[in-house]
Amino acid sequence: MRDSDNTFVKFADIQKTYDGETLVVKNLNLDIARGEFLTMLGPSGSGKTTTLMMLAGFEVPTQGNILLEGRSIQNVPPHKRDIGMVFQNYALFPHMTVEENLAFPLKVRKLGRAEIEGRIKRALDLVRLGAHGKRRPSQLSGGQQQRVALARALVFDPRLVLMDEPLGALDKQLREQMQLEIRRIHEDLGVTVVYVTHDQSEALTMSDRIAVFNDGVIQQIAAPVELYERPQNAFVAQFIGENNRLLGKVIAMSGGSCKVDVPGAGNVQALAINIEAVGSSTVLSLRPERVKLNPAPGSLPNVFSANVAEVIYLGDHVRARVCVCGQDDFVIKLPNSESVVQLEPGAAITVGWKVEDCRALEVS
């Protein structure tokens, strides 16, 4: 949790239901720090967008309170919350030029002409569209339109910027460019950003912290590195990045580690995460890039014979699907090298991994 003096947005015991029976958001407590880039990440129906809409004022919590800078905004209408919004569909006025689109929120706030012109210039320069002010949205590419939408959300100096799947309509290359652009703008301005996406790579690239939602509950909230390297439950491990799963039963525990009996494999040594006792069912989580190919004898505690089922060449790395530990969909990712490129389906290999790279988690 962040220092309470630096808390900018606070969700306190928030619940939301649409039908009076099913909770879309359940007992949400979340503090967002001033200047933070927080991403709400999760599958469709997990509650992330509903949470964002409650913060924006387009949805009303069934229970609980939302505070902005220490003051409740429950009864403050959306247009008076001083919040900038960026949507996936851009929501630009097609009959207006870029400059007119940016002027709109400033005229609503009754700013003078000179100040409006100055703010528009600064906002367009910020998103690197200074020469496009006279064009209409139809004369811009998708990436340029999204930059205009971002500029319009920032032009009136909002206290908070909310982004709901803003890059979902862009192709892969444009999306990756815009991720870095939004990150740069956030660092330049220091504005607080709450971002919603279902794209885990997007969340990892852009965020200070990520709140992983599932079934209306935050499963884990942490910095990207912490979330990827140290997931606290099986859902987070599976949702963030690629992940190998091995089901088994804990047969021994010692300190922070445990020994797990995996059918078809025998004993596997792993870190014990949220494991209650010997006899507990568990799912082992192991990232494909942590698996070693043909490790030297005695160099690793977990070593198993495997057969290569499929090899996919991806340029800088090779992705191999192997049959091991009773699983035929176990994946390893290996940096491109001469020995790796020569891997072929049907080859007999050994694979291994460290105890600290294999996490024994609760079965979800």
Q: What is the model's pLDDT at position 336?
A: 84
Q: What is the model's pLDDT at position 3?
A: 43
Which residues share a beta bridge with 250?
A: 260
Taking the chain, what is the end-to-end CA distance rounded to the nearest angstrom?
Answer: 25
Please tell me the pTM assigned to this model: 0.89
Q: Which of 191, 182, 82, 177 is nearest to 127 (CA)?
A: 182
Q: Which residue has the tokens 């596997």?
A: 268
Cα–Cα dist 306/321, whole Å: 10
Q: What is the model's pLDDT at position 2?
A: 42
pLDDT in tens, the chain (364 residues): 344 468 999 999 999 999 999 999 999 999 999 999 999 999 999 999 999 999 999 999 999 999 999 999 999 999 899 999 998 887 889 999 999 999 999 998 999 999 999 999 999 998 889 999 999 999 998 889 988 999 999 999 999 999 999 888 788 888 888 899 899 999 999 999 999 999 999 999 999 999 999 999 999 999 999 999 999 999 999 999 899 999 999 999 998 999 999 998 889 999 999 888 899 999 999 999 999 999 998 999 999 999 999 999 888 889 999 999 889 999 999 988 766 767 899 999 999 999 999 999 988 6
Which residues share a beta bridge with 244?
A: 286
Q: What is the model's pLDDT at position 142?
A: 86
| DSSP-derived secondary structure letter, 96 | S
Residues 6 or more apart whose CB falls under 8 angstroms from that of 30 comprise 9, 10, 11, 211, 218, 221
Structural domains of the chain in order of their starting residue, each with its CATH number: 4-234 (3.40.50.300), 242-362 (2.40.50.100)
Residues 6 or more apart whose CB falls under 8 angstroms from that of 102 comprise 119, 120, 123, 124, 148, 151, 152, 155
